[in-house]
Chains A and B, each alone.
Chain A
Amino acid sequence: MNKKSLLRGMAAVTTLLALALAGPAPASEDPIRIGAFVSATGPASFLGDPELKTLEMYVERINEAGGVLGRPLQLIHYDDGGSASEARNFANRLLRRDRVDVLIGGSTTGTTMAAVPLAERARTPMISMAGALTIVEPVRPWVFKTPQSDRMAAERVLSDMQARGITRIGLISGTDGFGRSGREQTLEVVEQFGIQVVADQTYGPQDTDMTSQLTRIRNTEGVEAVFNFGFGQGPAIVTRNYAHLGIDLPLYQSHGVASDRFLDLAGPAAEGVRLPASALLVPDALPDDDPQKPVVQGYKEAYEERWNTSVSTFGGYAYDALHLAVHAIEQAGSTDPAAIREALESIQDFVGVTGVFNMTPEDHNGLEPESFRLLEVRDGRWALID
């Protein structure tokens, strides 16, 4: 074997290897690039973790089913760890280097707002999975979001209190971003419902005992109900302490704990607790003619089978973000950013996990407060009340 044929042989082997490593080449088309920055680790991992899992799972599923417009989806994702500056870096990288067609993220209001100016400047559609109203109000042409705003959660709870004839409440909230935003929104709208906040307490996100705060609320004259705005383990501890102190006023939680984990953590103490949540928690209790029923059931089953952990409301935000993007790309018939944006803005009657979306140029969220279902814990399970 002379030197030349040896070289040729090596070249052939290298080519074969390269082909083998590249795997089966997808349809000759370029992939559609979906860029995501989520808080998969860090203090907001309870949001980002299910979101990323959902995105990964559905990008796989959509590709197995033939992709979008005959092209596969490619998910490029980064973990910002809940930090706004990291989110800004990653959004920048997604927009400039990875040149994504649609941007999904961030998980929190802080990370979202850090990336908003970049998406606006790059003229790329961005779908956020964070709660605060400021993301879509005032409306920014390129920015959309899937969750209901915190204010809607507060309104849903307050209107139920109003219906029960409650006029004086105690508020207890976490000092993290979610709790603070929820507290502010609640204080802003509370008067519209003829309700007065007579006690206003807070707790740190890592606190392990809230009996002092709850004792103070209980000892405040005339309190008729207690509303806890927070997420993570805090509300579960509040619920346990509440039962432990034997306070028999109605206790309301926010959508921040709308997951089956809350039932596990709070145990029997959760009996009678009411909260606003997406239909995801009670797929089987929904009436058969509810358009969300099949979507929600399908998502819950697929998620729990794939990841072997209970589904949470927050993963649903990612489901909606991805499917809204896919739907808009299909409607637009191309990945031209302006066309996708137009299509997103004109989405009507799109049934998602969080609710039914009706986008308009003035409303880049497209959900009604009614998309929150009011649930009560009965016999250790979620029950739908109307």
Chain B
Amino acid sequence: MFAEFLQYLFAGVTTGAIYALVALGFTLVYNASHVINFAQGEFIMIGGMATLAFMAMGLPMPLAIAMAILLAAVLGALLHRLAIATARQADVVTLIIITIGAAIFLRGIAQVIWGKEYHALPSFSERASIEVMGAVMYTQSLWVLGIATVLVLVLALFFKRTLLGKAILATCMNKQAARLMGVRIQFVVMLAFTLAAILGAVAGAVAAPITLTSYDIGIMLGLKGFVAAAIGGLGSGVGAVVGGLLLGIAEAMTAGYISSDYKDAVAFLLILVILLFMPRGLFGSRVAERV
């Protein structure tokens, strides 16, 4: 009985940790620009697929991941420079739509360059799974969880302690005031897009041994990541992680105890209920809306 519960919990944590990593990227861009970057899923795809491509060229895995992250960072900066910055007068909704276009574009390019097939990355650790009290867990899940935790801490420190981080937050709160204080808005937003791309690529590379990867993996992971970010409260790093884990565990428990057919339905019900009672999400800022 308990082993069964534990197994479902592990399954939930495995997928939840991946959602959490994706959600973190949404949080970052949202914090800087109030834009929901729907191309975030595509950076996850790039993280996984580029790692594979570099490994196919003969690079060892850590180096291949580093190169993939670099590639994603460049693309993230380009996304901002070519698509977002040129439309900086537009309002947030327009920018969000632009990111959707960028996502479709990136997916199309990836499909042409890397093909449509699924690929698998090897697990980071030699040992693929460990047993805990009768249930089995992927060692890769621990990697995902660990990396998510480290990233949350680093992001929290970045926003609280560094001038750049504070500049990003200031831009989010009031663009005009931030500009008057000498913050270069466009640079700050570009930085946020680049960092989000890096986060996405890290997530993609770490998750690929579990989820497998293909040119269109970003659609589903991006959507689930966004949902996780919304549950946790957009803009909150801790919220992203809690939201991701909650979503993953809810899915796994439903599949385990109720029926796998209702898995997605329960997850979406969860969102409805949480957003109904807490419109800002679990950890959303309590700041009153400016009128």
Contacts and interface: CB of A to CB of B under 8 A. Distances in A.
Contact of A211 (B10, B18, B207, B212): B10
A44 to B, nearest CB: 11
Contacts of A309: 115, 117
B219 A212 contact: no
Interface string B123-135: 0000011000000
Contacts of A215: 4, 7-8, 11, 256
Interface of B is mostly: helix
Given A202-B261, A215-B256, A236 B136 contact: no
Interface in A130-144: none
B33 interface: no
A265 B119 CA distance: 6
Contacts, number: 85
A261 interface: yes
A41 B10 CA distance: 35
Contacts of A233: 118, 212, 214
Contact of A206 (B111, B136, B219): B219
B14 interface: yes
Interface in A46-87: 46, 49
A219 interface: yes
A237 interface: yes
Contact of B118 (A211, A212, A261, A267): A261
B136 A246 contact: yes
A207 B261 CA distance: 12
A201 B118 contact: no
A216 B118 contact: no
Nearest to A219: B4
Contact of B260 (A201, A206, A245, A267): A201
Nearest to A216: B256
Contacts of A206: 219-220
Interface residues of B, number: 36
Contacts of A319: none
Contact of A265 (B10, B212, B219, B221): B212
Contacts of A211: 7, 10-11, 14, 136, 252
B285 to A, nearest CB: 31
Interface in B1-32: 4, 7-8, 10-12, 14-15, 18
A232 B116 CA distance: 11
B280 interface: no
B118 A265 contact: yes
Contacts of A41: 111, 116
A236 B212 contact: yes
A143 to B, nearest CB: 28
Contacts of B14: 209, 211
A244 B129 CA distance: 7
Interface in B228-272: 252-253, 255-256, 260-261, 263-264
Contact of A204 (B118, B136, B263): B263
A236 B209 CA distance: 12
A41 B15 CA distance: 27
Contacts of B211: 208-209, 237
Contacts of B116: 41, 45-46, 49
A305 interface: no
B164 to A, nearest CB: 34
B154 interface: no
Contacts of A46: 116
Contacts of A45: 116
A203 B260 CA distance: 6
Nearest to B251: A212
A209 B210 contact: yes
Interface in B197-232: 207, 210-212, 214, 219-221
Contact of B264 (A204, A209, A237): A204
Contacts of B120: 236, 264-265, 267
Interface string A207-232: 11101110110010000000000001
B138 interface: yes
A41 to B, nearest CB: 8
Q: Which 5 A-B pairs have the closest CB atoms?
A: A208-B211, A212-B255, A206-B220, A211-B11, A233-B118
Interface of A: 41, 45-46, 49, 175, 201-204, 206-209, 211-213, 215-216, 219, 232-233, 236-237, 244-246, 261, 264-265, 267, 309
Given A208-B207, A212-B256, A265-B120, 19 more contacts: A201-B255, A208-B210, A208-B220, A209-B11, A209-B14, A209-B211, A209-B252, A211-B7, A211-B10, A212-B8, A212-B12, A212-B252, A215-B4, A216-B260, A236-B120, A237-B212, A261-B118, A264-B120, A265-B119
